[in-house]
Structure 1
Amino acid sequence: MKIQSKMPETNDRLHITLMDSGWVPLKEPKNLVTAIFLSIPLMFISTLLSLGIINLFSSLSLEEYGITDDSLSFTIHLGILLWIVLLLMFHEILHLVFVPNFLKSNKTFVGLTYFGGYVLSEEEISKARYLVITLAPYVMISIVLPILLSMIDLLTPTLKFLIVLNAAASSVDLLNVYLITKQVPNKSMIRNNGTKTYWRN
C-alpha cells in the first residue's frame, strides 16, 4: 500500500501492453468532474434511499437542525467539521479493507486530493470483489449503520446528517458500479492503470 497526495497517472506504455494482452478499456468518464456531473441522478436516489431507511427506524425532521416554519438558524461547529473528516477517512478505509492483500500490495494507493480521499488499486481483482470494494462504504454507512444505531438508540441528528452526507458522496461509487455491471461480463477480472479501468475474461 502506498500513501500519496495525488492520484496515480495513466501509464501509456502499460495501456498498450494491456490492450495487447486482451484487456478492454471500460467506457467511463474522462475525469472526476464529468463523473460527478453524471452521477447527480444517483446522488438523489442514494440520498432518498438513506433518508427513507432512517425514517423507518427513527424520527426525522428539519427541526432537529434548527429549521422551522418561523425561523432558520444554521451554525457550523468545528466539531461537525471533525466528524466530516472522520467520515471521509472511514469511507476510504472501508474501500481499502476489501482490497485483497492491501497491506502488502505495492499497486494499491491511498491519498487525499482537493476532491476528497481516494483508494485505487492496480491489482487484478474479480468483478464480484470489485463491486464489493466499491459498494462497501455506501452499504455499510448509509444503509446498515442507521439500522444498527437505531436499535441501540444512538441515531443522533449529527449521525443522521453524516449518514445522509455519505449517501450523497457515494454517488460516483454508484456510477462506477453501474458502469461495471453494464459493461463487464461475470467472472471477469478488473484492473486499473492509474484512473483508467480495464476488464478481461
Structure 2
Amino acid sequence: MIGVTYFFWTLALPEIQSKEFFKSFFAGSTFLIFVAVIVPREWIHLILHPRMGRTPYSVVGFMPRYFLFFAAYTHEWSCRRFATCLLAPLIVISFLPLGLALLGLEIHPILVKASLINVFMSCGDMIGFLLLITQVPGQGRVRNHGMQSYWAG
C-alpha cells in the first residue's frame, strides 16, 4: 500500500522522486513527523466512536509492549461504524491530501511525508478492516476487548 500511495504521489508531484526527498526519509524529521501524526490519527478514530468518544467506553492509550497508540471503543457498536472508524485516518491523513494534489493543489513535502508515514501506521487498521468485512455480516454488532474483537448477529 505504501508503494501504491508513493506512486500516486509521484504522479501528483514529480519533484518527490528526487534523491533529496528520498534521503530525507532517513533524517530526524521523519521521526518528528511520525510522532506528530499519532495525535491526529487517534483523534480521528476517537471522534468516530459513539457520542464522538465522550463515553466511558472510549479509551485512549499506549501499549508499550507493541509500541501501539490506540483509541478503542470497548462497548458494542455496528460493524459499519467500526469499519469506518478503522479506515478514517488513512482516508483523511493520506488519501485526502493525495487527492487534492492530483487535482493540482500544491502540497507541502512535509504533508507528503506525513501521508506516507500514515499509510505505514495504518497497516493494523487495514488488516482489521479486511478481517471485519470478510468475517462479520454487514448488520453484525462488534465488541472489542483488548486486542480481540467479537461479533454477534
TM-score where L is the length of structure 2: 0.85
Matched with 1:83 is 33
Partner of 2:87: 135
**What residue ranges of structure 1 are gaps of 5+ in the alignment?**
1-45
Distance, in Å, in 1 between the alignment partners of 2:33 and 2:135 is: 36
Do residues 120 (structure 1) and 72 (structure 2) align?
yes
Q: Secondary structure at the match of 1:186?
A: coil
C-alpha displacement at 1:95, in angstroms?
Answer: 0.9
Residue 75 (structure 1) shift? 3.4
**Number of the residue aligned with 1:57:** 12
Q: Structure 1 residues 186, 75: CA separation in 2 closer, same or farther (over 3 Å shift)?
A: closer
- The one-letter code sitting in structure 2 at the alignment partner of 1:199 is W
Rg comparison, structure with higher value: 1
Equivalent residue pairs, number: 149
Question: Is 1:161 equivalent to 2:113 in the alignment?
Answer: yes
Deviations 1:114-151 (A, max 9, x none): 31310111121111111000001112111112222564
Report the CA distance shift for 1:182/1:110 in structure 2 as closer, same or farther (over 3 A): same
Cα distance in 2 for partners of 1:116, 1:168 equals: 13
Return the TM-score normalized by structure 1: 0.66
Distance 2:49 2:79 in 1: 12
Distance 1:135 1:161 in 2: 19
Q: Alpha-carbon deviation of 1:93? A: 1.0
Residue 46 of structure 2 is aligned with which of 80, 84, 96? Answer: 96
Unaligned runs of 5+ in 2: none
Q: Separation in 1 of the partners of 2:9 and 2:43? A: 23
Report how far residue 167 of structure 1 moved: 0.6
